[in-house]
Amino acid sequence: MDRIIRILDEMVGERIIDDYAIGGATALAYYSDNILTEDIDVFVYSTSRSKFLIDLSPLYEYLVKTKNARAEGQYIILEGFPVQFLVPYDDLSKEAFSNSITVLYGDVKVRIFDLEFLMAIMIQLGKQKYRERLRRLIEENSFDEKKLQAILTKHTLGKKWLDFQRSL
């Protein structure tokens, strides 16, 4: 993972992308134990192409040519890991990207989505695997409930959250 972070930082340095943040289960693993994932979700941003990078082909071409990566379905295999590059796709994911925090992963710094934004995205998407992760987070009680509530209210997800809590 640290090699992938270093590559992402190189891509920022070489202006392939302006910024990135790790989302999904890889970011969630920073906050909670026992989170398994098959891929690394990397949200990318570039002001040089458009507000949010839409055409990912320059990014893929760079990785294939300079980092021996290969495309495989929706992923690019980088350093042996499937990496999914995503563009913040709605107001919630854009806000999550903008509010990313910097943490240490080993000895490298990396930006990841804040826990309450990760939870809000999981609530929004409502997949079964997210429901299990949310249940675990509730049991661990490791999140800021007021902060989560403010995010959910802003993005009209309060009812989904209540429905989920009732289903426990």
Residues 116-131: what's their mean pLDDT? Answer: 94
Helix, strand, coil percent content, the chain, rounded in steps of 5: 50, 20, 30
Query: Looking at the structure, do residues 88 and 152 belong to the same domain, yes or no?
Result: no
**Beta-carbon count within 10 A of 38 CB:** 9
Residues 113-137: what's their mean pLDDT? Answer: 94
**What percent of the chain is predicted at pLDDT more than 70?**
95
| Res 53: pLDDT | 45
**What percent of the chain is predicted at pLDDT more than 90?**
72
Query: Looking at the structure, do residues 16 and 60 belong to the same domain, yes or no?
Result: yes
Tally of CA atoms within 13 A in the half-sphere of 99 that contains its CB: 14
Report the number of distinct structural domains present in the chain: 2
Query: Looking at the structure, do residues 96 and 136 belong to the same domain, yes or no?
Result: no
Query: Looking at the structure, do residues 16 and 79 belong to the same domain, yes or no?
Result: yes
- Strand extents, DSSP E, 11-129: 19-23, 40-45, 70-72, 75-78, 81-86, 101-105, 108-112
Residue 104 CA, distance from chain mean position: 16
What value does the mean pLDDT of the chain take?
A: 91
Q: Which domain holds residue 99?
A: 2-114
Residues 47-66: what's their mean pLDDT? Answer: 76
Report the range of poorest mean pLDDT among 1-5, 52-56, 84-88: 52-56
Query: Looking at the structure, do residues 96 and 39 belong to the same domain, yes or no?
Result: yes
Query: Looking at the structure, do residues 102 and 147 belong to the same domain, yes or no?
Result: no
| Res 97: pLDDT | 97
Query: Looking at the structure, do residues 6 and 65 belong to the same domain, yes or no?
Result: yes
Residues 102-109: what's their mean pLDDT? Answer: 92
Q: Which helix (H) or strand (E) holds 48?
A: none
Query: Looking at the structure, do residues 11 and 83 belong to the same domain, yes or no?
Result: yes
